[in-house]
Chains A and B, each alone.
Chain A
């Protein structure tokens, strides 16, 4: 089956800097993408989503970019805060897929 992967398993950033978390997907038929945040001991929490008819979507302090040409998705977090420390997952869906397919996650650590 198709898979979703993340370029880096861990990412450390200084508090106040911007964070960029990347995700590569391989199913060209996917038309829906989501980013989730999972804090220790908690379930994944929705951050932002984007459909394939868009290449950028902004939320509060977060921006998702979609590059369908190279099948790449990124999550940008502005002015990273200690509360942003978590594991971030991307997921893809749509097309012929019966359900969302999740990547293995990137651990973001915010340094003081």
Chain B
């Protein structure tokens, strides 16, 4: 089954404790991205990757890092989480980038206390 898998689905952590949210896709898509979803603000892109070893900032990259060492994986790293990063996070992949449909993961609900 074609899918985008995120882990964990839920995470509660404390301020400053580094964490990683994993994302994996099995569709051989070149383009992957991370979004955060906040009430009233919709989906905002954090980072995206056009291909292996190619990443770029989205609209809200501050406080986040990503890496793309393999085509299928695109982890999101919070080096020092803060409460304003409490949000619902989605990973997405698409075959050709920004002008094609994106397939989304199920989401990761992160709470930073």
Interface footprint category on B? 20 to 34
Contact B106 A43 (CB under 8 A): yes
**Other 19 A-B pairs with CB < 8 A, given A44-B104, A99-B59:** A1-B59, A34-B102, A36-B104, A42-B107, A43-B104, A43-B105, A46-B101, A46-B103, A94-B98, A94-B99, A98-B56, A99-B45, A99-B58, A99-B98, A100-B102, A102-B43, A103-B42, A104-B40, A105-B42
A94 to B104, CA, bound (A): 19
Question: Interface on B for A, CB 8 Å cutoff?
Answer: 4, 33, 35, 40-45, 48, 56, 58-59, 90, 92, 98-99, 101-107
Residues of A within 8 A of B105 (CB): 43
The count of chain A contact residues (Cβ–Cβ below 8 Å) is 25
Q: Closest CB of chain A to B45's CB: distance in Å?
A: 5
Q: Can you show 27 pairs from A to B with CB atoms below 8 A apart?
A: A31-B99, A36-B104, A42-B107, A43-B4, A43-B92, A43-B104, A43-B105, A44-B90, A44-B104, A45-B104, A46-B102, A46-B103, A89-B42, A91-B43, A93-B98, A93-B99, A94-B98, A98-B56, A98-B98, A99-B33, A99-B98, A100-B45, A100-B102, A102-B44, A103-B42, A104-B41, A104-B42
